[in-house]
């Protein structure tokens, strides 16, 4: 299985979730073995995609140091994960990715427009060899061995529309587009009002998130899935695992995890040298049924 980039440069403009300002995003092909690089356009700062580049996780996953940081990368990276892209240059004209409709489907459409290009080098896989787990305040996230990417997420919210939801998901590119990519981020009206009072979430609206009051969903069109909330958490987790910079072969499982806990999990994994192995596809090809996963 060969590495992949995109066939041609593409761009899109959308609103920044926190700034409320227009953000232009440009994607360009990149050479084999160069990885995924984010470029903060105004400063020219280049940020390599890896867990050590993550500087904040309170409201989103953030790469790089202020004032040249780039926020809310997780929805975009979930699409990059799903499309099996290894090498890419990502230029952002602002300090955050455009939020689009609050899901990953617009980024899937952008990658479809760009097209996928096979490269000469074999794809690198990050294969989980033994369980790594992090826990914090009753929340948990882990990675453990599996022959193909799997995700299992449980959320619990004291809200009549959400309650407890669990979703088990075996990844393929086609199932991601159908089952995960359209799941939107969500927020509670009381929290959004507070964030806007401190000049955050200025771009949040019912056009790019599911809004909830104390009792119901505020969006006139309702939900896209009955369990859209937990599906979006899996979308977030896929993006946060893509920060590792390689396709993860293993099972991710979580209870009420967050961007912070996901980041701690990736850091702990990298600190546990016996818990993973970087394998070039083809070295152990008989162990993985991956060619059809990214088809």
Bridge partners of residue 11, in order along the sequence: 26
259 counts as catalytic: yes
How far is it, in rounded angstroms, from Cα 82 to Cα 8?
18
CB 54 within 8 A of CB 25: no
Catalytically annotated residue among 18, 40, 232, 259: 259
* Buried b or exposed e, range 15-25, using 16+ CB within 10 angstroms: bbbbbbeebeb
Encode burial over 90-123: b for 16+ CB neighbours within 10 A, e otherwise.
bbbbbbbbbbbbbbbbbbbebbeebeeeebeebb
Distances (CA, A) of 5 to 111, 251, 265, 279: 10, 25, 27, 19
Cα–Cα distance, 98 to 76 (Å, whole number): 9
Task: Name the token pair of 45.
Answer: 């700062």
Q: Which residues belong to the active site?
A: 259
């Amino acid at each position: 299985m060969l590495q992949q980039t995109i066939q041609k440069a593409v761009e899109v403009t959308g609103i920044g979730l926190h700034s409320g300002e227009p953000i232009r995003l440009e994607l360009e092909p990149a050479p084999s073995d160069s990885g995924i690089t984010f470029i903060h356009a105004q400063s020219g700062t280049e940020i390599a995609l890896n867990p050590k580049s993550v500087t904040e996780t309170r409201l989103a996953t953030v790469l790089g140091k202020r004032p040249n940081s780039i926020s809310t990368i997780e929805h975009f990276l979930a699409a990059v994960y799903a499309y099996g892209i290894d090498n890419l240059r990502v230029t952002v004209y602002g300090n955050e990715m455009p939020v689009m409709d609050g899901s990953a489907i617009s980024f899937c459409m952008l990658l479809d427009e760009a097209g996928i290009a096979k490269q000469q080098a074999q794809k690198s896989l990050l294969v989980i060899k033994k369980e790594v787990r992090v826990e914090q305040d009753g929340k948990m996230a882990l990675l453990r061995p599996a022959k193909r990417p799997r995700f299992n997420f449980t959320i619990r919210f004291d809200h009549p529309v959400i309650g407890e939801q669990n979703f088990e998901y075996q990844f393929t590119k086609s199932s991601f587009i159908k089952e995960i990519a359209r799941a939107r981020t969500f927020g509670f009206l009381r929290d959004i009002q507070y964030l806007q009072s401190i000049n955050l979430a200025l771009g949040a609206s019912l056009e790019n998130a599911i809004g909830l009051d104390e009792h119901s969903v505020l969006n006139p069109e309702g939900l896209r899935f009955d369990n859209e909330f937990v599906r979006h958490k899996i979308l977030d987790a896929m993006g946060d695992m893509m920060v590792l910079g390689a396709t993860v072969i293993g099972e991710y499982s979580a209870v009420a995890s967050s961007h912070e806990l996901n980041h701690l999990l990736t850091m702990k994994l990298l600190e546990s040298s016996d818990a993973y192995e970087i394998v070039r596809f083809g070295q152990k090809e008989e162990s993985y049924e991956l060619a059809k996963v990214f088809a």
